[in-house]
Amino acid sequence: MKNKEVSKKNLLVNFCRDGGIKQFSDKICQKLVSEGENFEYIETLSYRVLYKAIKQSDTVFFLLNYRKLYLFLFLFPFKEFRLVHHEQVLRVGSGIRDKLSYFLFQVFQKRFSKIIVHDEIANMPKNMKVLKMPLHGEPVINKKKIQFLQFGRIEKYKNIEQVVDVVAQIESIELTIAGGGQVSDTLLEKINTAENISLINQYIDDRLRNFLMRNSDYLVLAYQSASQTGLVDLACYFNLPQIISNITPFNLYKNYKTACFVDVFSESTLLGDINNIPQPESDEYLQMVSYCDAVNKKQDDEWDHYISQLMNIE
């Protein structure tokens, strides 16, 4: 790719969970992955998630003209923003929200360093470029599979071998095991035999972690034994629901309402539990995502309390 800026971190923001714009945004992400670009891709309407992601990025690409984005033009006055604008004119029957987005664009369009549009209009500003929208939304032969992520150092107590045995029996699920640590010959053979399981046996840096978290549907913590873990809160940070074993040390996470709890002491029961998890985009799944955001909002208060108790001398 010409004029590639390797050192810059790019953020792609998609506000749509379905429809043609989501298909188009996903295709952009797919093409950037294939070309090795340094970027992060998020789908969210959360101001909190957007703020944190934009703060850590150099250039922000909004893939839709959506009213919420204009707040961040003020919050980050020196940040570079670009926009893919799908609707340059108001359609007949447009609602108040569409009219507001249209109005905000008319007022603040000079704030974008580049605007991509798909139809030519009169008196186009210098920062606007017309491009033909490439093919997207083409038929996919295989139905999208549910993406499981087993993240963290590989340890026996994490029950990975049983999870592999179960997932290997479910064609609708793909499992990625990502983490350092020693992999036994038995486990490695099972992973290599299963067509729907992959292994990344290395230290997972922040960039790869972010990519894996944002491209998974569930984080799997089907441990046979454990104490508290920070991975549940980390998954909530990425708005990622979890599959958690129904063991005593994990009882506190039942209050989060962000997870499906499974029985790990019987393979047949675990298989049944996993087969019954909510499908991504179902109402029950989206409810867990919303509870993840609620957990995130409590993190600062929890840290304040923790530090206070740590430093307090009774």
Whether residues 294 and 152 share a domain: the answer is yes
> What is the spatial order of strands in the sheet that 197-200 belongs to?
197-200, 173-178, 146-151, 218-221, 242-245, 259-262
- Domain annotation covers residue 304: no
d(CA 258, CA 158): 20
- Looking at the structure of the chain, the number of domains it has is 2
Beta carbons of 44 and 50 less than 8 angstroms apart: yes
d(CA 124, CA 245): 57
Whether residues 103 and 157 share a domain: the answer is no
- Domain annotation covers residue 81: yes
Predicted pLDDT at 133: 80
Give pLDDT tens digits along the chain (314 positions): 444 444 578 899 988 877 788 888 888 887 887 676 778 888 888 888 899 989 989 999 999 888 999 999 999 999 999 999 887 777 777 789 888 888 999 899 999 999 988 887 778 888 898 888 887 776 554 457 899 999 999 999 999 999 999 999 999 999 999 999 899 999 999 998 898 999 999 888 888 899 999 999 999 999 988 766 789 989 999 999 999 999 988 888 898 999 999 999 889 999 999 999 999 989 999 999 999 988 887 776 766 766 676 667 55
Whether residues 34 and 89 share a domain: the answer is yes
Whether residues 124 and 152 share a domain: the answer is no
Q: For residues 49, 54, 59 and 65, what is the CA-based torsion angle, rounded to 10 degrees?
A: 60
Predicted pLDDT at 94: 78
Whether residues 157 and 63 share a domain: the answer is no
Residue 221, φ and ψ in degrees, nearest 5: -130, 65
The residues, any chain, with a CB within 8 Å of residue 238's CB and separated by 6 or more, are: 210, 213, 214, 292
- Domain annotation covers residue 31: yes
Whether residues 81 and 172 share a domain: the answer is no
**What is the model's pTM?**
0.55
- Domain annotation covers residue 213: yes
- Domain annotation covers residue 107: yes
Whether residues 221 and 166 share a domain: the answer is yes
Q: Of 97, 130, 163, at which residue does a domain stop? A: 130
d(CA 63, CA 41): 10
Whether residues 196 and 105 share a domain: the answer is no
- Domain annotation covers residue 254: yes
Beta carbons of 62 and 13 less than 8 angstroms apart: yes
Q: Of 130, 154, 182, at which residue does a domain stop? A: 130
- Domain annotation covers residue 46: yes
Q: What is the CATH number of the domain that holds 247?
A: 3.40.50.2000
The residues, any chain, with a CB within 8 Å of residue 193's CB and separated by 6 or more, are: 168
- Domain annotation covers residue 233: yes
The residues, any chain, with a CB within 8 Å of residue 30's CB and separated by 6 or more, are: none
Whether residues 74 and 114 share a domain: the answer is yes
Predicted pLDDT at 7: 54
Q: Which domain holds residue 70?
A: 10-130
Beta carbons of 39 and 11 less than 8 angstroms apart: yes
Whether residues 173 and 250 share a domain: the answer is yes
Q: What is the CATH number of the domain that holds 31?
A: 3.40.50
Whether residues 33 and 164 share a domain: the answer is no
Q: Of 130, 157, 175, at which residue does a domain stop? A: 130
Whether residues 220 and 119 share a domain: the answer is no
